Each structure stands twice: as structure tokens, then as C-alpha cells.
């Protein structure tokens, strides 16, 4: 046999096919980068103008009125196309500008297209306009670290995920020194406008920057970004102004594809429960969308848990003539029981597997956990305010933190927190697992928020579930159902009469397709006792192999695989929906700037409708602000939007909850959304929650 010829490495590496195979840019990426998103009709006009829309009203916070006086009177502004204008208006519209843009917070798919939309719109009007990207987030503004964005650089990142072009960061411009440094940077660059792309905290920052730089003539425009989907703006009458922040659709699709794959794996290997934690610290929008995309067997929605009422507990309290406040709101223990019930119901029909979706912030909706978080946030915030070093540096180990809390109870530490933490709190806190204590005492993020992504939420729940399933197993209640046909086949193959043994083994013999071993049979010993008692076996005889096989198949082993979906989704290449949405947000930003707006958030109305119905607008940020506790004190912030349990999307999920649990004989109802394809007619053009919620009043009753 001839020896294979050895190819010289340099020739191999120089071969076109090899070079193409290992290149950084593949064909799909080339097609993605070359895609030109369509623009809203108004942007096809030579000019745009802004028209005040008086149908939207806001309830103004007094503190917002005091702190944001320059921009508090802003109104909703519609972007309208204009074929011609007065010479003075044309001149101002077409003038060369210096515009800065910054990404703030975590990456969100589509951010690059905000830059591309702004860049294209600005350069089309005046090629001499300069766009500056601040590097590494708000730190770039504070430190004067920036780069001028060229067409070559912008073209490189069109329709591509991440914030790689200029990077991002989480710094807040929240004190006088940072604000003064930011103002100095804007002056040095002679900026006409600054664009802040970020979430609720970042748009809060944008409002204060607009206020501070109002008299300097620097316009500040915000852009709503977060994969969590918790920026959904409505006016005082509930009219939708911003239905969805960008990046949500892409992240949900990325998570859904991976979770749908786990549904396939679970129903193939039939031995694992896959527990999937998805991002969503304050709101469960992603979990809700994932439920609609995948039909996972069980999806916990935090907002639903917060609204839970235990009517059985209320009835008991009423009979005892007492008030049971614990009946309102889901407890951690009861949540574990609900989860166990679902697992047991599936096991009873032979499905000892499944997929459970859990939002990362689900524990925030559990009463006793929320109390702990509020109290610990206050204690940590008070300590940081009163001392030279922060709480976590002062008490680096868990034991040191716990000792500090005990000293508060004993009154040894006479600081502002001594009356926040009492003996009852200390007792309950010491009853929870050590790893969860550590999680609750973990360092807060830069905004003072509890970092649920750092807590093994799924482990907290699963430990309780496993413990309770163990108890139910000992009681003979948690068993795997045996298909009647399988039982008959196994017995006949072993030479035994199924009709004779069936009534002895099963509590529902001849009553169901899946047979349940009697609750009294919880071990081989009790199995043998039942056979001996029935006269089918002698004391010294062994259990027949077919019967032992059936018994072994009925004994559940609760095996789990845990997964966290967050960073992978926010780094995904955007869906076509997010590409088009963000590109038009960038175009909207320029229209707001060119028409003199400041303190506004760029948005698109009618996202739930076909593209030709989309309408670009500017939303006033200041009227949306309200006081909220942050780091132990009240601060003006933009309110997060949580899942509305009366919304059509939630009601649809609730309606199909039992169907998707599939605790019945037969196939599961898993849905496979497929990968983000970007091209082709089968790619969905908007989030399912957006589509369903747009139906609003078309559903008749709240419990439908």
C-alpha cells in the first residue's frame, strides 16, 4: 500500500480552500454584514420634523419636577417626513454636527445597528458630521476616551451582535465630579449631542445628563436597551409608547433554541429533568417568551408567584378565627411542593423527565426572601454610608458577616441598622442553607441591586424539591407509572400470569393505561411481604425476576441537569426583527437631534404590527421618573416593567400550562423555534409576547 504523500504546511496554509475555511469571516457573516435594513417611511423624506402628540399624559413626580426642571415639560414627539422646509430650518437641519454615542450596561443584540442607523442618517444629511464612540461605556465620557467612527469601522459591525465596536461598561455618572468631567469631555469635542444606549439606569443617567448640559447646548438622547425586556413604557392611561426594548427578541430566541434542544434530549434519554435558569432579575419577560417559544413542561413566572393566594390556608384561618398573613404570596416551601406535584404527575404516566424554566429573579417574588433582601440591602447600604470602607471589604467571610448581623441583634453595634435586624430574622436566616446565606449576602452590583445571577436560584429550589420528593418516595406516593401493555409483556415473557399478579401489585389495576405500584410497596422487603401475604410466594423464596424488573422500573431516580442562559443570548447575532428595529432607532435618534430635542428616548410605535405601520417617536424621560429605594436611600429612577398577569401573553401561557406539562399518556407538546436564521421566509418577525399582548381587549374575561 503506498504511503500517503506529505503536504508541506506552507502550501497547505496558502491553499484558497484552507484560507477560506479558517478565515475569521465566513459566508454567513458576509451576508449578514451586507444586509441593509429597511427604513420607516418618514426617513425616506429629505427632512424630518417633530410634532407634539398631546394624546399621551404623564403623572409627574414632584421630585422629578424639582431635579429635572429643564426637561420635565417635554412631551411625546412624533417624527414626521417633510419634503421641503424654510431656508432657516433647512440650514439648521443640514449643519455639520459632532455627535457622541456610548453603550452602557450589558451587551444587547442590535446595538451596532443603532450606531449604523445614526451614522447613515447623519452622513446622508451632511458628510462633514462626525460621530464619536466613547470607549468602555460611561468611563469613556468621564475619562475622555473615545474614537471617531469611520464608515469602514461601522460597516464591519452592521447587523452583528455584541457591543464590540466601542465596548461597554456599567459606570454611572452619578456625582458632581463625574458630571463635571463628562461636561469637560463634551466641551473638548465640541459635541452637539450625546446618545446614551442602555437600560433603565442608563436612561436615568441620560435624563440627568440632559438636565446638567441643557444650558451648555448639548442635547442628550436615550435609547432603550435590555434583553430582560423590562423597559416597556406606557403613559398614565396605559397607552403603549415603547412595547419592547431592543435585544429581547434575539436573547429569547437564542435561549429558546437551546432549551428546545434540551426538550429533545429529555424526551430521548428519558432520565433527566433539565432546569433552565434564564436572565431576568426583576421581571420574568424572558421566561414567559421562552415558554411560548418552547412549550417547556413547566415555567415559573415570578409575578404569578407574588400574586398567589393560598385559599386553603385562608379557609383554615377563618375557621380558627385568626388572620393568616402568610396565605398571601407564594412561600419558598410551597413553591417546592408545586414543583414536586408536577414532577410526580409526569412520573405517574411514565415521564420521569422534563424541562423546567426558572427566571433568575424568581426568588425576589418569594415573600420571606424579599424581606431578607430589603433588610440586608438597607443594612449594607447604611454601613457603606457610615464607614470609610464598604461592607464586603470589612467582612470578607460569611462568618464575619453573620457575626455582624448577630451583633446587631444583641445591640452591640449601635448604628443606624441595629433596629432593622431582629432576633426572629436572625433565627430564620440561620435556618437556610449556608450557600444561600452567602448568596443573599453577596456583593451588590454597581447600582446597589441584589445580583440574582450570582445566586444559584435553581439549587435553592432543587434542594427543597429533592428533599420533599424523598419524603413522598418513602410514603409511596412518588412512583413511575408502568404502561399496562409493558407489564403484560414482561410478565408473559417471564412465564407469569399478569391477571393474577396485577391486583396485588397495582392500586389502579385495569383502571388506567399507566399502572401505579401500591403505596404500601416502597421497597423490595414490602414487595415480598405483599406477595407472601397474597400466597404467591413462600417466606424463603425470592421475588420472581419479572416482578422485580417491574418494581425497579417503578422506582424513580430524580436526576437533574442545571443550565444558565444569559451571557450567550446577549452576545448572539440579532434577529432580523432586532436588526430592523435598532437601525430605525438610530435613524430616530438623528431626527430627534436634528430637530433640537433633548432629554428624549428614541422609540418606535406599533412594533407589534407590520413594518409599514411602525412610527418613530421621542418619549420624554423625565416624566417617567419616580422615587425608588437604591442603596438604602430614595433616588429618581426609570421604573422597570414587570409581567402583567392580566396580559394576553401570560393568560395564554396559563391556559396551556396543563397541556404543556403533558402529565397524560402520549407525546409531549414541545415546540422547536429553530435557530436564528436571519434570512428566509420562515423567520418570525416579532416576539410572540409582543404579538399576543397587542391583542389586548380582544380576549374577553381575565381568567380565559
- The residues near 657 (Cβ < 8 Å, ≥ 6 apart) are none
The Cα 475–Cα 492 span in angstroms is 30
pTM score of the predicted model: 0.90
**Is residue 580 domain-resident?**
yes
Beta strands in 137-286 (DSSP E): 146-148, 193-198, 219-224, 233-234, 240-242, 272-278
**Is residue 4 domain-resident?**
no
**Is residue 409 domain-resident?**
yes
434 and 351 fall within a common domain: yes
Give the model's confidence band at 344: pLDDT under 50 very low, under 70 low, under 90 confident, else very high.
very high
The Cα 112–Cα 130 span in angstroms is 17
272 and 208 fall within a common domain: no
Using the 3D structure, point to which of 616, 638, 660 is the last residue of a domain: 638
The Cα 65–Cα 73 span in angstroms is 9
Residue whose C-alpha cell reads 435557530 in the numeric block? 675
Per-residue CA distances from 685 to 223, 647, 657, 688 (Å) = 21, 21, 25, 9
**Residue 294: what are its φ and ψ, rounded to 5°?**
-115, -25
Instruction: Check pLDDT > 70 for residue 631.
Output: no
111 and 134 fall within a common domain: yes
**Is residue 22 domain-resident?**
no
Confirm if 616 and 595 have CB atoms less than 8 A apart: no
Instruction: Check pLDDT > 50 for residue 704.
Output: no
- What domain range is 345 assigned to? 248-471+560-569+645-698
Give the model's confidence band at 425: pLDDT under 50 very low, under 70 low, under 90 confident, else very high.
confident
Using the 3D structure, point to which of 638, 659, 675 is the last residue of a domain: 638
Q: What is the pLDDT of residue 221?
A: 98
Mind listing the pLDDT tens digit for each residue in 203-243?
999 999 999 999 999 999 999 999 999 999 999 999 999 99
545 and 593 fall within a common domain: no
Q: What is the pLDDT of residue 700?
A: 43
319 vs 658: which has the higher pLDDT? 658
The Cα 89–Cα 430 span in angstroms is 68
**Is residue 11 domain-resident?**
no
| pLDDT (average), residues 674-700 | 76
Beta strand pairing call for 193-198 and 482-483:
unpaired
Q: What is the pLDDT of residue 682?
A: 62
**Is residue 83 domain-resident?**
yes
Q: Of the candidates 108, 84, 66, which has an alpha carbon nearest to the alpha carbon of residue 228?
A: 108
324 and 347 fall within a common domain: yes
Q: What is the pLDDT of residue 27?
A: 82
337 and 450 fall within a common domain: yes
Per-residue CA distances from 522 to 347, 424, 555 (Å) = 16, 39, 8
187 vs 436: which has the higher pLDDT? 187
Q: Of the candidates 197, 132, 118, 133, which has an alpha carbon nearest to the alpha carbon of residue 165?
A: 133
Using the 3D structure, point to which of 555, 585, 607 is the last residue of a domain: 555
242 and 278 fall within a common domain: no
Q: What is the pLDDT of residue 418?
A: 61
**Is residue 123 domain-resident?**
yes
CATH code assigned at 624: 3.40.50.450
**Is residue 704 domain-resident?**
no
Q: Which DSSP state fits 641?
A: P
Residue 295 gets the label, from left (phi > 0), alpha (psi -120 to 50) or beta, of left
401 and 487 fall within a common domain: no
CATH code assigned at 290: 3.40.50.460
Count CB-CB contacts under 10 A for residue 35: 15
The Cα 185–Cα 165 span in angstroms is 20
195 and 66 fall within a common domain: yes
How many structural domains comprise the chain? Answer: 3
548 and 589 fall within a common domain: no
Instruction: Check pLDDT > 70 for residue 106.
Output: yes
Element (H, E) at 604: strand 600-605
319 and 175 fall within a common domain: no
Instruction: Check pLDDT > 50 for residue 460.
Output: yes
Q: Which three cell numbers stand for residue 575?
A: 434577529
Confirm if 339 and 356 have CB atoms less than 8 A apart: yes
290 and 348 fall within a common domain: yes
Amino acid at each position: 500500500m503506498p504511503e500517503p504523500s506529505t503536504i508541506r504546511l506552507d502550501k497547505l496554509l496558502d491553499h484558497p480552500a484552507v484560507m477560506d475555511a479558517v478565515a475569521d469571516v465566513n459566508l454567513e457573516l458576509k451576508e449578514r454584514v451586507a444586509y441593509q435594513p429597511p427604513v420607516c417611511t418618514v426617513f425616506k423624506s429629505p427632512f424630518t420634523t417633530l410634532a407634539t402628540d398631546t394624546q399621551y399624559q404623564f403623572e409627574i413626580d414632584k421630585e422629578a419636577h424639582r431635579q429635572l426642571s429643564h426637561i420635565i415639560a417635554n412631551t411625546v414627539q412624533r417624527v414626521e417626513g417633510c419634503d421641503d422646509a424654510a431656508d432657516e430650518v433647512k440650514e439648521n437641519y443640514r449643519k455639520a454636527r459632532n455627535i457622541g454615542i456610548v453603550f452602557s450596561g450589558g451587551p444587547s443584540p442590535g446595538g451596532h445597528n443603532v450606531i449604523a442607523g445614526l451614522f447613515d442618517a447623519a452622513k446622508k444629511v451632511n458628510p462633514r458630521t462626525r460621530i464619536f464612540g466613547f470607549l468602555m461605556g460611561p468611563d469613556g465620557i468621564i475619562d475622555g476616551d473615545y474614537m471617531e467612527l469611520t464608515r469602514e469601522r461601522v460597516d464591519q459591525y452592521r447587523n452583528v451582535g455584541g457591543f464590540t465596536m466601542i465596548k461597554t461598561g456599567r459606570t454611572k455618572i452619578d456625582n458632581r465630579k463625574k458630571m463635571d468631567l463628562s461636561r469637560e469631555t463634551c466641551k473638548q469635542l465640541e459635541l452637539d449631542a450625546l446618545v446614551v444606549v442602555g437600560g433603565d439606569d442608563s436612561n436615568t443617567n441620560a435624563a440627568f445628563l440632559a438636565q446638567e448640559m441643557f444650558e451648555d447646548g448639548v442635547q442628550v438622547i436615550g435609547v432603550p436597551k435590555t434583553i430582560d425586556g423590562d423597559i416597556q413604557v406606557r403613559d398614565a392611561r396605559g397607552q403603549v409608547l415603547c412595547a419592547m426594548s431592543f435585544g429581547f427578541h434575539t436573547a429569547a430566541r437564542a435561549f429558546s433554541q437551546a432549551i428546545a434542544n434540551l426538550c429533545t434530549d429529555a424526551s430521548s434519554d428519558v432520565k433527566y429533568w433539565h432546569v433552565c435558569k434564564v436572565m431576568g432579575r426583576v421581571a420574568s419577560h424572558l421566561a414567559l417568551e421562552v415558554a411560548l417559544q418552547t412549550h417547556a413542561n413547566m415555567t415559573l413566572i415570578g409575578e404569578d408567584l407574588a400574586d398567589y393566594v393560598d385559599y386553603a390556608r385562608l379557609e383554615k384561618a377563618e375557621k380558627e378565627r385568626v388572620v393568616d398573613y402568610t396565605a398571601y404570596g407564594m412561600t419558598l416551601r410551597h413553591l417546592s411542593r408545586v414543583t414536586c406535584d408536577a414532577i410526580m404527575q409526569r412520573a405517574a404516566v411514565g415521564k420521569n423527565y422534563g424541562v423546567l424554566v426558572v427566571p433568575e429573579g424568581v426568588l425576589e417574588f418569594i415573600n420571606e426572601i424579599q424581606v431578607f433582601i430589603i433588610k440586608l440591602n438597607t443594612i449594607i447600604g447604611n454601613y457603606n454610608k457610615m464607614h470609610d470602607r464598604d461592607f464586603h471589604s470589612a467582612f470578607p467571610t460569611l462568618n464575619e458577616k453573620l457575626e455582624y448581623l448577630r451583633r446587631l441583634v444583641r445591640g452591640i453595634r449601635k448604628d443606624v441598622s441595629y433596629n432593622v435586624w431582629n432576633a426572629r430574622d436572625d433565627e430564620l436566616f440561620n435556618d437556610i442553607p449556608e450557600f444561600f446565606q452567602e448568596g443573599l449576602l453577596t456583593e451588590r452590583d454597581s447600582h446597589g441591586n441584589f445580583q440574582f445571577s450570582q445566586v444559584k436560584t435553581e439549587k435553592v429550589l432543587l434542594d427543597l424539591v429533592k428533599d420533599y420528593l424523598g419524603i413522598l418516595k418513602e410514603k409511596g406516593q412518588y412512583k413511575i407509572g408502568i404502561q399496562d401493555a409493558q407489564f403484560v409483556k414482561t410478565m408473559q415473557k417471564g412465564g407469569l400470569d399478569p391477571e393474577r399478579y396485577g391486583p396485588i401489585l397495582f392500586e389502579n389495576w385495569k383502571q388506567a393505561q399507566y399502572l401505579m405500584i401500591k403505596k404500601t410497596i416502597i421497597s423490595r422487603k414490602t414487595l415480598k411481604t405483599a406477595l407472601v401475604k397474597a400466597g404467591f410466594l413462600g417466606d424463603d423464596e425470592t421475588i420472581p425476576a419479572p416482578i422485580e424488573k417491574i418494581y425497579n422500573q417503578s422506582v424513580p431516580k430524580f436526576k437533574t441537569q442545571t443550565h444558565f442562559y444569559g451571557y450567550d443570548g446577549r452576545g448572539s447575532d440579532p434577529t432580523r426583527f432586532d436588526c430592523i428595529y435598532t437601525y430605525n432607532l438610530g435613524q430616530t435618534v438623528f431626527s430627534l437631534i436634528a430637530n433640537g430635542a433633548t432629554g428624549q428616548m428614541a422609540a418606535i410605535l406599533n412594533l407589534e404590527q407590520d413594518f409599514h405601520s411602525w412610527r418613530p417617536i421621542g418619549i420624554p424621560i423625565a416624566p417617567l421618573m419616580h422615587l425608588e429605594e437604591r442603596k438604602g436611600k430614595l433616588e429618581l429612577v426609570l421604573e422597570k416593567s414587570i409581567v402583567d398577569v392580566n396580559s394576553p401573553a401570560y393568560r395564554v401561557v396559563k391556559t396551556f400550562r396543563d397541556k404543556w406539562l403533558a402529565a397524560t399518556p402520549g407525546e409531549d407538546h414541545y415546540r422547536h423555534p429553530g435557530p436564528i436564521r436571519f434570512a428566509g421566509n420562515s423567520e418570525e418577525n416579532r416576539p410572540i409576547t409582543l404579538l399576543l399582548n397587542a391583542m389586548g381587549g380582544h380576549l374577553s374575561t381575565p381568567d380565559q
